[in-house]
């Protein structure tokens, strides 16, 4: 069989995508990436930096760089578009951005700088955990659910932000001695609406406490809204998958 650049690219795409039971090369590739992700957390769990942790960082980042460019290279198959726009579209997808940020720590090796700058680049290693989403069917399902109900979730988030800001403005005017800065009021409003209430900053007047109680009660409803939306979306996604599986077996 004569190999062409198109067939090679297609085969690379099949390998780097989540593997099936009959594709050992793809399964091996997936296992390599997962192992790299898990091993990459080792330097984050140690408070010391030595030649071994640096070597682990370097090897893991190089694997991620190869993975990133292979995914960019085969993005026309991923996006189903056979022109240059496929590369641009894929590069702006959430997973592609996560992949890109995961290789940012390479600058801690190639750019001289202060200790703070190097540590800043290394913080991006934490994003490696998000790469696991690609290899987990459950996480993929949840991701699909969130994409499907993103408008509803955004509406709840907008309402939450507005309420936090409004209640912060109210208590900031009612309790000038307790809340010296508006950020203190925002902090109080946020922890009150999440029903956490650390108690480190709290109103002293009766009307201020009434606002706190209302904020906590509203918080219960606000927290329940996204939970219900995601649960309903998840059940719908499971039902859709079952129907698709039944259609394939017919």
| Separation of alpha carbons 75 and 176, rounded Å | 56
- Please state which CATH number belongs to domain 151-249: 1.10.287.70
Confidence band, pLDDT 50/70/90 cuts, at residue 112: low
Please name the fold of domain 5-135.
Answer: 1.20.120
Please say if the pLDDT value at position 49 is more than 50. Answer: yes
Confidence band, pLDDT 50/70/90 cuts, at residue 66: very high
Please say if the pLDDT value at position 68 is more than 80. Answer: yes
| Separation of alpha carbons 10 and 6, rounded Å | 6
Please say if the pLDDT value at position 42 is more than 70. Answer: yes
What is the mean pLDDT of the segment spanning 65-93? 84
Please say if the pLDDT value at position 82 is more than 60. Answer: yes
What is the mean pLDDT of the segment spanning 30-35? 87
| Separation of alpha carbons 186 and 182, rounded Å | 6
What is the model's pLDDT at position 1?
47
Q: Indicate if 151-249 has the same CATH topology as 5-135.
A: no
Please say if the pLDDT value at position 78 is more than 60. Answer: yes
Residue with tokens 């950020």: 183
What DSSP state is assigned to residue 201? S
Question: How far from 236 is each of 140, 155, 241, 242, 243, CA to CA, in Å?
Answer: 14, 20, 9, 10, 11
Average model confidence (pLDDT) across the chain: 81
Please say if the pLDDT value at position 90 is more than 60. Answer: yes
Domain boundaries, the chain: 5-135, 151-249
What is the model's pLDDT at position 113?
61
Cβ burial 93-125 (10 Å sphere, 16+ → b, else e): eeebebbbbbbbbbbbeeeeeeeeebeebbebb
């Amino acid at each position: 069989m004569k190999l062409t650049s198109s067939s090679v690219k297609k085969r690379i795409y099949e390998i780097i995508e989540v593997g099936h039971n009959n594709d050992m090369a793809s399964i091996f590739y997936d296992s390599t990436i997962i192992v790299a992700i898990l091993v990459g957390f080792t330097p984050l769990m140690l408070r010391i930096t030595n030649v071994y942790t640096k070597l682990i960082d370097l090897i893991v980042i190089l694997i991620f760089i190869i993975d990133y460019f292979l995914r960019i290279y085969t993005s026309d198959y991923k996006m189903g578009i056979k022109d240059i726009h496929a590369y641009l579209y894929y590069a702006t997808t959430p997973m592609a951005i996560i992949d890109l940020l995961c290789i940012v720590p390479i600058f801690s090796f190639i750019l001289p700088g202060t200790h703070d700058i190097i540590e800043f680049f290394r913080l991006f290693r934490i994003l490696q955990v998000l790469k696991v989403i690609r290899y987990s069917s459950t996480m993929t399902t949840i991701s699909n659910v969130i994409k499907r109900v993103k408008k509803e979730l955004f509406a709840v988030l907008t309402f939450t932000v507005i309420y936090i800001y409004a209640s912060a403005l109210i208590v900031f005017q009612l309790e000038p001695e307790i809340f010296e800065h508006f950020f203190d009021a925002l902090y109080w409003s946020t922890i009150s609406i999440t029903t956490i209430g650390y108690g480190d900053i709290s109103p002293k007047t009766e009307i201020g406490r009434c606002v706190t109680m209302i904020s906590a009660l509203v918080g219960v409803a606000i927290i329940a809204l996204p939970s219900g939306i995601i649960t309903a979306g998840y059940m719908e996604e499971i039902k859709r998958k079952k129907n698709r599986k039944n259609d394939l077996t017919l």
